[in-house]
Structure 1
Amino acid sequence: MQDTHSTSALNNFRKAVEAGDFLVTAEVAPPKGGNVTHTIEMAATLKGRVHAVNITDGSRAVLGMSSLAASVILLQHGIEPICQVACRDRNRIGIQADLMGAHALGIRNILALTGDPVKAGDHREAKAVFDLEAVRLLQLIRKMNQGIDFNNKNLNDGALDLFAGAAVDPQSASWSGLETRFEKKIEAGAQFFQSQLITDFERLEKFMDKIASGYNKPILAGIFLLKSAKNAQFINRMVPGVNIPEHIIDRLAKAKQPLEEGMNIAAEQVQIARSLCQGVHLMAVKKEDAIAPILDLAGVGKVS
């Protein structure tokens, strides 16, 4: 059952996109277990500061609560979610079932992802599905919004109304591959893009000028809170395609309060991104309550 909070939170993100507002989203991981208290507490610190909160779907192939279930719980607490849907763990039947359920439960924002490989996570012997990938998932969502299923059969009980987005990595090693994939996602129906962690803002600017400028779709730059030099070095080792510069690692290493310095760095990056694209997507793993203070440091006020 949907409570009275959820209806008011239903379409704020879509409205902000369509209005051309500067967009702010943030990421919150669902719990590993049945207690959602901490997830709700962290998401609550973002009320009024972000347009929507992403709930991850098995990010890095690590077990967590269903993104759909956690998204519904946030909605019940008046927090608009972006429900991530990854193709790794479910076939087209399961994905369509979840999308119909998401719509019925009041979820409107979907981030379509291929999903990280199983071997990256904590259940390495699990069987990956990958029946679809991100582009085909976007195509499927567009079909379901038109009232038909994957096999072009009518959805007899009503079309969906989902607002679908996708991921993009402006720092991809293959420029032609980045351009092709981005264009395919646009053609498949992506209405917004959230980027991977950005460290090279010159590369982001080039992407915006050379590729994204040809399309009227918002790009939200991924801004990651680095909590220490050790944290930054770990990300460089473990996250493919990410190269946190040595001067940032040195700043963190020399800081008396590394977390505060990491927040200052993130705020500076928000300000840079604000001059280049239409939004930011903030990630602060296990420190989501630092996101509002980062936005304050960056001079980003409350969202309407």
Structure 2
Amino acid sequence: MFDTNHHASNTWLPAPSSRFRVAAQSGEFLITAEVMPPKGGDPSRMVQMARQLKDWVHGVNITDGSRAVLRMSSVAASVVLLQHGIEPICQVACRDRNSIALQADLMGAQALGIRNILALTGDPVKAGDHPSAKGVFDLESVRLLKLIGSLNRGIDLNHQPLSDGPTDLFVGAAIDPQCASWSGLQSRFERKLEAGAQFFQSQLISDFDQLEKFMNQIALDCQKPILAGIFLLKSAKNAQFINRNVPGVTIPQHIIDRLDRATDPLQEGIQIAAEQVQLARQLCQGVHMMAVKREDLIPNILELAGIAPLAKAEVVR
């Protein structure tokens, strides 16, 4: 028989406060990095990569079916990181779940100790490895931001109270300062800001003049941290692949030429990424590091850019 007089809440221990949230709200220069969940049931490689980032970043992004390619659930992968003492930023995309499932996963994330969410619309199904799957898109990123704000106030999407308590999720959104439509970029950014985004992570930045223009003209008074996307280019071929396959991103020819001329293209890519981190430090409030399958090199990039591990930086303060 179940003891109906026992209340689980009496023994429920809250998750520790979010290091990322505290840093964001205190005005620190933020550093995040992206790691993909495994394609399968063994998370050991993901954990290995994330462990190497732990002392260098405020949070590790866990992607949610990025490019519509099948991977482990971002919520499950985020919990695995928490079990290893690594703070996740759990991406939640609208493509694969209706509004009921999204709310269920967000409440579940709260219960499991996840505190940081990046709200995304999600890439089109046809772009991925299961093109015959059905996209849901019951919501999109702006409505998802509003939904999370509502859950944080203890109200569901149907305007009913959450009888077992609100969530406490620190939610952010994606931006693309290189968007071809300047008015569209401004409108979308302002809508996400009004919907409750507390931080912004950008797509891969290749045009830092455009980033500066965005920061000075659109984001000047937003008072929320903006993290510039820094991508490790491993070779000229890698850069050319991005130019062909990533909409809205154009790696400049002079960068491709540097990689092509280099005797060690990977080391040159590390140098380029470090230079870009230094540029970003002058323009915005943080960097979001991406180094697909070579996340272990992110500390090298940050060190070359003059950024100390977080523990050492905190001692200096």
Which category of TM-score, normalised to the shorter sequence, fits these structures? Answer: over 0.9
Distance 1:125 1:238 in 2: 21
Q: Deviations over 1:119-153 (max 9, x none)?
A: 11110111000000000000000000000000110
Deviation string 1:57-114 (CA, Å, 9 cap, x unpaired) is: 0001111000000000001100000000000000001000000000000000000000
Match of 1:187 among 188, 194, 205: 194
Structure 1 position 7, deviation (Å): 4.5
Aligned partner of residue 212 in structure 1, secondary structure: coil
- Counterpart CA distance in 1 for 2:290 and 2:124 is 20
Where does the alignment leave 5 or more consecutive residues of structure 2 unmatched? Answer: 1-13
2:294 alignment partner, one of 267, 281, 287: 287
SS of 1:220's partner is strand
SS for the counterpart of 1:156 is: coil
Once residues 54 and 115 of structure 2 are traced to their aligned partners in structure 1, the CA distance between those partners, rounded to angstroms, is 18
The one-letter code matched in structure 2 to 1:177 is G
Distance 2:75 2:242 in 1: 27
Equivalence for 1:215: 222
1:27 correspondence with 2:41: no
Question: What's the RMSD between the two structures over aligned residues?
Answer: 0.9
Deviation at 1:215, TM superposition (A): 1.1
1:244 and 2:245 equivalent? Answer: no
**Equivalent-residue separation in structure 1 for 2:22 and 2:228 (angstroms):** 19
Give, in whole Å, the separation in 1 of the partners of 2:242 and 2:54.
28
Is the partner of 1:38 in helix, strand or coil? helix
Counterpart pick for 1:96 among 100, 103, 110: 103
Higher-Rg structure is 2
Q: Provide the residue aligned with 2:269 in structure 1.
A: 262
> Residue 248 of structure 1 aligns to which amino acid in structure 2?
I
Q: Please report the TM-score for the alignment, with normalisation by the length of structure 1.
A: 0.97
**1:75 pairs with 2:86:** no
Structure 2: distance between partners of 1:300 and 1:59: 28
SS in 2 for 1:213: coil
- Amino acid of the residue matched to residue 153 of structure 1? Q
For 1:61, give the aligned amino acid.
A
Secondary structure in structure 1 of the residue aligned to 2:90: strand
Question: C-alpha distance in 2, partners of 1:40/1:48?
Answer: 14
**Letter paired with 1:207:** F
Give the C-alpha shift of residue 198 in structure 1: 0.2
**Alignment partner for residue 158 of structure 2, among 146, 151, 156?**
151
Q: 1:203 aligns with which of 210, 214, 232?
A: 210
Alpha-carbon separation, structure 2, partners of 1:152 and 1:30: 34
Identity of aligned residues (%): 71
Shift of 1:285: 0.2
Asked if 1:15 corresponds to 2:22, the answer is yes
Pairwise CA distance, 1:214: 1.6
- Structure 1 distance, partners of 2:23, 2:112, is 22
User: Is residue 107 of structure 1 aligned with residue 114 of structure 2?
Assistant: yes
Q: How many residues align?
A: 298
Give 1:3's aligned residue.
Answer: none
Letter aligned with residue 172 of structure 1? C
The residue number in structure 2 matching 1:175 is 182
Q: Kindly state the Cα deviation for residue 47 of structure 1 after the two structures are TM-superposed.
A: 1.1
Q: 1:49 aligns with which of 39, 42, 56?
A: 56
